Structure 1
Amino acid sequence: MSIMCKKHDGTISTWLCIDHAICFCKSCMEKEHRKCSGLRKRIERHTYDKPVSIEVKESLKLENRIVTICALPNGEFLAEFEKIPRFKLHKLNKTFHTIARCDLPGLGHTSMCYAGNNKVAFNRIDHQLQFIDVNNLHILEQKFTFIENVQHLACHGDKIYGFNGDTVFSYTIAKTEVRVLCLLPERKLVYFKMGTSMTVSDNGDFIYCTNQSGHVYQVDSSDGNVLLELNFHRLQLPKKTIFKNKRLLSPIFNPFSRDVDWINPDSPVHVCYLGNGTVIVCDGEGHNIQIESDGKYSMTTIVDMERNFSIPYVSTIYDRSTSSLITVNYNVIKIFTVK
């Protein structure tokens, strides 16, 4: 059973101080317990010999399109809906029914993450990041500016990480400072319109990213070093299954050669951290890749995860309260149990 940090309620405690008889997260260790002699780190139970099982549980259809969604520690959700002329933020209960709503300032929000202390951080198209109180959906005054436009957010302890497809940014909430943590290796972009994604490990040591080059990266959150790089397009199905949409076969829309081992060029990739050193990478074609912290991986295909070709997934998130993988596809939510 996971124990949440008392100071950072959205972060799992992965450290124990015998001197003070208390568990806490990496941020607390670095700030308050680094010099304690009784400091112990919880070792994650890796799942090399036990691939996770993902099975469809249910599918829900909503009235409006979801732009972005995040899970809250109590099992509820915050979701941004596209409602012209303004974007609406809804708080959803465990069955995805609206229990509260409000208008969001600005346009073009693409990501949200729970930032602890009943706050959710969300980014704006003008590079601004703001916070909202999840209890009353009140927009807080606190905000800061990223160096560049960021499409993905993730939080661990008192740090928020941003990702724009090639650069990882780190933001320390207490110090209100932004720095470039990592610039991913430059690779040829082989996937047209492929999505990018980011997640953080429970212990806060690693950041996992996927980008349009079809690679998965494991980044050290302390110094930004790239520790692992997996070439995602090598894990896909044979080339006979590649271009399903005939409009992309025209040279006007498809500048790439047809005779290459690529997956569908419109298939986005999403990455989720499931705990115990296990990361799940999944795309819109139903491919599910389980990656361990040492680079080992196994691949399965989940037919129920296949999407409508013309509509990309908005996001794939992991709900720790119910051990569920949740995919958002336009206005359809699919829920999968993870065992």
Structure 2
Amino acid sequence: MALKFYQSLDIKEKDFDELFCTECTRNGSSVDILNFCVGCESLFCFQCLQDHRRDDTSSEWMVDEDNISNVNNWKLEKNNNRYSKNTNQTTQQLIEIKEKLLTLQKQLQNHSEHDQAECENRLRKVKEHVDRKITDLKTNILDWLEEFRTYTAVAIEEFHHEIEKAYSEKTMSVKILMAKSDATLVKLQNAKTKSDVDDIAGFTEQTQSEARRILEDPDNHYARILKKITAAELENANAIFSESMEEFLGNINALGKCLIEDNSSEPREAVCKFYDVTGPEDTSICDINGSCVMSDGSILLTDWNNTNIKYLNQTYQLTNTCDLPGIPWAICCSGRDEVAVSLHFLQKIQFVSLNEGNMKLTFSFKVNQKCRGVACAGNKIFVSCGGGGILEGRGQVHMFTREGTILKTFKLDTMGRNLFSCPQHMTVSDDGEFLYTADKHSGVVRIDLQMTIPAEIYLSAVESKTEEAKGICLIGDSDIVMCDFILNTVDVHNNIERDGASFQTLLDRNDDICNPQSLCYNRNKKQLVVTSGNTNFIQVFDMETE
């Protein structure tokens, strides 16, 4: 009967579980069927079947009521088999997942135990190493203290010996004077003539003179002894102390790098000269924000307030000016007779040709960002931008061709951290291999122009001891010189590779440094040019380089 029922509906047996009451399906419900009306070609559940029979008594039914239960039982059995099969499959999958999780947990546990053991082993080795170093340091300190104590004791003993010797000499002199005084008294008692009395008076005056010399110590015998001890002997002791302390700090290097500053060395001698750079057509006080030196020793300056370039001859005398289309920030030598100027608000680089001190604007290219520092290496132009506020974006350095095609942008290190906060002036090493950028808060950023090593923060603000680095230049191939706009200092960092690098404040307020903005080094005269904000003068310092 069930087969006949399916065949009449022209469906497959496997789709039986999808047959539901036609009326209920229209109302959005799925209710099992009881019968099929041939005339209406509709399926009916129990409730709909009662209603249909009441309304249409002439309907012909495919399945009689006696066999309806067989159909529903078959459908129920089919559904149960399907759900049972699905349940078994799901259970099997869950068992497999559980086994995989248990295996993974065991692997993680094994790895964790191995990593923990490895970490403990490394920590143990580090602790042993540190303990050994601390023991060695304690031993070295104790040895040094004992050595210094012994040397000090010897020096004090020698000092006492000198004092005793001097005291003995004076005591002997006093005894001699006392003996002479006794002899004088005897002579005075035995004097018989005026000549004898005059001789005694002369002898007495000589004796008094010797007594005053001994008491007043006109030769500063004691002072010479003290000076000898404090200057010579103690200087020797200080040398031993310095040598021991350097050895001590050298041992500390094993636990962490320690930079040693040699503050005892004499600073480089810097003789300052002031040069007026006011132009005949200037309408405001000068604000020299950038400077560069040409191969012939002439100096070019950018004046922010007067929007021009100033040309100084080899004797630092202003001989010419050149008006610019926008406010300049920095300037660099881009050729034998050419300079490049960054125009801050116009966001472009302007090239200027030179002909015996005469300047002429040539071509330019857009940067599309407010630009600050500019430097040239070969046929590449480097421009520092950004970092001046939210609208400027993060600090970065762009590399362009002379035609203005951007080749590369430097802004992140290998760890994805910002290289720059607000990059300022830049300078290129003599060999053209490195670009050094003074950054407002990061310190010094070095970029390898050969692209063999990644860009890096070469001297951090902590290492360079700066609050707002601005100007930068190189003296030879060993010294980085930077000026700090806030601290009003010019600092030199010896040894460009930093191993054993030393820091030294070259110029400060005592040298009339105030708000320094740019630096350039005149190799022809071994002179450092310092420019500052809101002043009509530049400062030129004679440098004694080693």
Category of TM-score, reference length = shorter chain: 0.5 to 0.7
Superposition CA RMSD, Å: 3.2
What secondary structure sits across from 1:321 in the alignment? Answer: coil
The residue aligned with 2:539 is 334
Residue 430 of structure 2 is aligned to residue 202 of structure 1: yes
Instruction: Report Cα offsets for 1:76-111 as digits up to 9, x if no partner.
Output: 11223355xx523221112322212232112x2101
For the pair 1:123 / 2:324, whether they are aligned, the reply is no
- Is the contact made by 2:473 and 2:520 (CA closer than 8 Å) also made in structure 1? yes
Q: Which of the numbers 443, 446, 450 marks the counterpart of 1:215?
A: 443
Counterparts in 2 of 1:213-292, with a 5 A limit?
213-223=441-451, 225-227=454-456, 229-236=458-465, 265=467, 267-283=468-484, 284-286=487-489, 288-292=491-495
The separation in 1 between residues aligned to 2:456 and 2:420, in whole angstroms, is: 21
1:55 aligns with 2:277: no
Q: Distance in 1 between matches of 2:274 and 2:335?
A: 28
Query: Is the alpha carbon distance of 1:291 and 1:216 closer, same or farther for their aligned partners in structure 2, counting shifts above 3 Å?
Result: farther
- Say whether the 8 Å CA contact 1:307–1:329 is kept in structure 2: no
For the 8 Å contact 2:302–2:331, the answer to whether it is kept is no
Structure whose residues are more often helix by fraction: 2
Q: CA deviation at 1:218?
A: 1.6
Q: Residue by residue, what CA displacement relative to the aligned partner does 1:192-251 show, whole Å, maximum 9, x if unpaired?
A: xx8833211111111112212242222111337224532222453xxxxxxxxxxxxxxx
- Give the conservation status (yes or no) of the 8 Å contact 1:285–1:307: no
- Distance in structure 2 (CA, Å) of the matches to 1:182 and 1:308: 36
Q: Separation in 1 of the partners of 2:270 and 2:502?
A: 19
In the other structure, the counterpart of 1:88 is: 308
For the pair 1:302 / 2:506, whether they are aligned, the reply is yes
Match of 2:110 in 1: none
Partner of residue 290, structure 2: 68
The structure in which a higher percent of residues are strand is: 1
Relative distance call for 1:307 and 1:220 in structure 2 (3 A) is: same
User: Could you tell me whether the CA contact under 8 Å between 1:285 and 1:306 is conserved in 2?
Assistant: no
Q: Does 1:318 pair with 2:521?
A: yes
CA displacement, residues 247-270 of structure 1 (integer Å, 9 cap, x when unaligned): xxxxxxxxxxxxxxxx6x5x4443
**1:93-242 pair list within 5 angstroms:** 93-106=313-326, 108-124=327-343, 125-135=345-355, 136-140=358-362, 142-164=363-385, 166-173=395-402, 176-185=404-413, 186=417, 196-223=424-451, 225-227=454-456, 229-236=458-465
Contact 2:331 2:342 in 1 (8 A): yes
- Separation in 2 of the partners of 1:162 and 1:277? 24
CA separation of 1:288 and 1:68: change in aligned 2, threshold 3 A: closer
Query: How many residues are matched?
Result: 253
Report the alpha carbon displacement of residue 117 of structure 1 after superposing the two structures with TM.
Answer: 3.7
Aligned to 1:43: none
Aligned residue type for 2:424: T
Go from structure 1 to structure 2 and tell me whether the alpha carbon gap of 1:234 and 1:69 turns closer, same or farther (over 3 Å shift): closer
Is residue 77 from structure 1 mapped to residue 299 from structure 2 by the alignment?
A: yes
Quick one: which amino acid aligns to residue 382 of structure 2? Y
Pair 1:308–1:321, CA change in 2 (3 A): closer
Separation of aligned partners in 1, 2:274 and 2:425: 23
Runs of 5+ unmatched residues, structure 1: 1-48, 237-262
In 1, distance between residues paired with 2:446 and 2:266? 20
CA contact (8 A) 1:167 1:180 kept: no
Shift of 1:67: 3.5
CA contact (8 A) 1:198 1:207 kept: yes
Q: Report the CA distance shift for 1:56/1:212 in structure 2 as closer, same or farther (over 3 A).
A: same
* Matched residue type, 1:212: K
**1:278 to partner: Cα distance:** 3.3
In the TM superposition, residue 305 of structure 1 has moved relative to its aligned partner by 5.8
Distance in 1 (alpha carbons) for counterparts of 2:423 and 2:539:
19
2:289, 2:463 → 1: CA distance?
30
8 Å Cα contact 1:127/1:147 also seen in 2: yes
Greater RCO (CA < 8 Å, at least 6 residues apart): 1
2:42 — aligned with what?
A: none
Residue 275 to residue 184, structure 1, CA distance change in 2 (3 Å):
farther
Scaled by the length of structure 1, the TM-score of the pair is 0.65
- The change in CA–CA distance for 1:82 and 1:285 in structure 2 (over 3 A counts) is closer
Label 1:307 to 1:53 Cα distance change in 2 as closer, same or farther (>3 A): closer
Shift in Å, 1:328 = 0.7
Following TM superposition, by how much is the alpha carbon of 1:315 offset from its aligned partner in structure 2, in angstroms?
A: 0.6
CA distance 1:57–1:80, shift in 2 (3 Å): same
Please tell me whether Structure 1 or Structure 2 has the larger radius of gyration of its CA atoms. 2
C-alpha spacing 1:197/1:100, structure 2 compared with 1 (3 Å): closer
What is the aligned partner in structure 1 of residue 179 from structure 2?
A: none
Cα distance in 2 between the residues matched to 1:52 and 1:294: 23
Contact 1:196 1:269 in 2 (8 A): yes
The alpha-carbon deviation at position 53 of structure 1 amounts to: 6.3
